[in-house]
């Protein structure tokens, strides 16, 4: 028995940003976005057709953190006007921040309590969200969770509630033109990780697997091309579609071990999230060879019948983008690897993984990805 569900209405197409006013439909809206000229220009375009927002949060930072989110959430309480809908215009950090604001009811303490204790759901609110992604990577526009960081305590949380799915995802690939090559690569690798992580997952189902196969094939084909030709709208559209498919895949499964390995690496060594969650993918793939069923069949649709050769191809793909596949390539000392791996497999995302820690370590040591016995 399996189930699949996703309630988000998806609008996809170049130039569809113009329909955002119709989606707002006269409601009092809060605009959440980045503090950059490009987003200020988009905000002006929106205001010209939809009217001024009741509140603008335009200082979203990467990896949304407790301290900033607390101050931003308070602005909703101070706005003086009731907000009917939140428009999240930006990448994953913007959409994740919008979910926090939608739930906080003007007080981040409500969200913090829920994150830390899993109690207090009755204090949360659920404002509607229109998600307008400007990168092809996180898939947050079609999921009901948000990543929240507490950097002062070195912790990462996932805000998750079925009422936090956006009401609409408006995906306009034109908004992704002009994004830096480095950001394009990192977000594309994040989407690739989402697709694979949804396959080697205890929560996987045949529908999520179909989305994952489509996403990963398209990313492996298109990401190197769009990095060479970042102004190509067709390639940007391909990556936007792939990111959406990856989001639809892991919206039902959550992520797994590669993501749980990534969080302390991002916090401790500053490795960008898309890199941190993708460099272990070849090792994870090697560790699940032989698991059978529709999961292995899905991986073989991507790589062919020889998954060992597929892991080699995946490592070569990452290397061709300048991403090393060893922990040491990212500045992580050998003596820290064992703790990172132990904590990752013990965590929620680690428990989502269909494989075992023993097989992962064996595959990693065989390929010199880690040296747990190093002095």
- Average per-residue pLDDT for the chain: 96
Nearest-angstrom CA–CA distance, 309 and 316 = 10
**Structure-token match 């390639």, residue found:** 235
pLDDT digits (tens, 9 = 90+) for 159-210: 999 999 999 999 999 999 999 999 999 999 999 999 999 999 999 999 999 9
Cα torsion 141, 129, 163, 169: sign: negative
Structural domains in the chain plus CATH codes: 9-175 (3.40.50.1970), 177-366 (1.20.1090.10)
Nearest-angstrom CA–CA distance, 87 and 98 = 8
**Cβ neighbours of residue 324 closer than 8 Å, sequence gap 6 or more:** 279, 318, 330
pLDDT digits (tens, 9 = 90+) for 262-319: 999 999 999 999 999 999 999 999 999 999 999 999 999 999 999 999 999 999 999 9
Nearest-angstrom CA–CA distance, 187 and 286 = 23
Give the SS3 label for residue 372.
Answer: coil
Main-chain dihedrals φ then ψ at residue 205, nearest 5 degrees: -145, 165
Output the pTM of the full model: 0.95
CA 196 to the chain's CA centroid: 13
Look at residue 374 and tell me whether its pLDDT is greater than 60. Answer: no
CA 141 to the chain's CA centroid: 9
% of the chain surpassing 70 pLDDT: 99
CA 255 to the chain's CA centroid: 9
pLDDT digits (tens, 9 = 90+) for 216-244: 999 999 999 999 999 999 999 999 999 99
Nearest-angstrom CA–CA distance, 363 and 137 = 27
Looking at residue 53, what is its pLDDT? 97
pLDDT digits (tens, 9 = 90+) for 99-108: 999 999 999 9
Q: What is the end-to-end Cα distance of the chain in Å, rounded?
A: 48
The arithmetic mean of pLDDT across residues 19-48, rounded, is 97
Look at residue 135 and tell me whether its pLDDT is greater than 90. Answer: yes
Nearest-angstrom CA–CA distance, 120 and 86 = 22
Look at residue 372 and tell me whether its pLDDT is greater than 80. Answer: no
**Angstrom distances, CA of residue 233 to CA of 34, 65, 167, 244:** 23, 33, 26, 16
Look at residue 123 and tell me whether its pLDDT is greater than 60. Answer: yes
Quickly state the pLDDT bin for 81 (edges 50, 70, 90). confident
Looking at residue 375, what is its pLDDT? 40
**Cβ neighbours of residue 305 closer than 8 Å, sequence gap 6 or more:** none
8 A C-beta contact, residue 127 and residue 76: no
**Cβ neighbours of residue 106 closer than 8 Å, sequence gap 6 or more:** 73, 74, 76, 77, 78
Write out the E strands in the chain. 9-12, 29-32, 55-57, 85-90, 129-133, 145-150, 155-160, 168-171
């Amino acid at each position: 028995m399996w189930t699949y569900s996703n309630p988000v209405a998806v609008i996809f197409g170049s130039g569809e940003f113009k329909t955002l006013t119709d989606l707002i439909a006269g409601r009092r809206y809060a605009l959440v976005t980045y503090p950059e000229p490009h987003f200020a220009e988009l905000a002006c375009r929106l205001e010209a057709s939809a009217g001024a927002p009741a509140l603008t949060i335009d200082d979203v930072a990467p990896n949304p953190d407790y301290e900033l989110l607390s101050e931003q959430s308070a602005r909703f309480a101070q706005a003086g006007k009731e907000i009917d809908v939140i428009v999240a215009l930006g990448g994953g950090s913007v959409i994740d921040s919008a979910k926090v604001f939608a739930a906080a009811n003007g007080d981040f303490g409500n969200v913090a309590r829920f994150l830390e204790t899993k109690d207090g759901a009755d204090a949360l609110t659920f404002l509607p969200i229109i998600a307008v992604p400007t990168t092809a990577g996180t898939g947050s526009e079609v999921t009901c969770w948000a990543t929240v960081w507490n950097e002062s305590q070195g912790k990462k949380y996932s805000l998750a509630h079925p009422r936090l799915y956006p009401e609409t995802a408006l995906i306009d690939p034109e908004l992704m033109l002009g994004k830096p090559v480095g950001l394009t690569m990192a977000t594309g690798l994040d989407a690739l990780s989402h697709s694979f992580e949804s396959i080697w997952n205890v929560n996987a189902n045949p529908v999520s697997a179909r989305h994952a196969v489509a996403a990963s094939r398209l990313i492996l084909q298109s990401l190197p091309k769009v990095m060479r030709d970042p102004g190509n709208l067709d390639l940007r559209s391909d990556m936007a579609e792939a990111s959406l498919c990856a989001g639809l895949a892991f919206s039902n499964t959550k992520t797994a071990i590669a993501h749980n390995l990534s969080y302390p690496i991002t916090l401790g060594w500053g490795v960008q999230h898309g890199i941190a969650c993708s460099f272990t993918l070849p090792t994870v793939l090697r560790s699940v060879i032989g698991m059978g069923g529709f999961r292995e069949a899905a991986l073989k649709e991507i790589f062919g019948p020889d998954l060992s050769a597929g892991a080699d191809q995946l490592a070569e793909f990452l290397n061709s983008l300048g991403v090393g596949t060893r922990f040491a390539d990212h500045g992580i000392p050998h003596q820290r690897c064992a703790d990172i791996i132990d904590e990752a497999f013990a965590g929620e995302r680690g428990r989502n993984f269909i494989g075992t820690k023993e097989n992962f370590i064996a595959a990693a040591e065989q390929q010199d990805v880690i040296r747990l016995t190093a002095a």
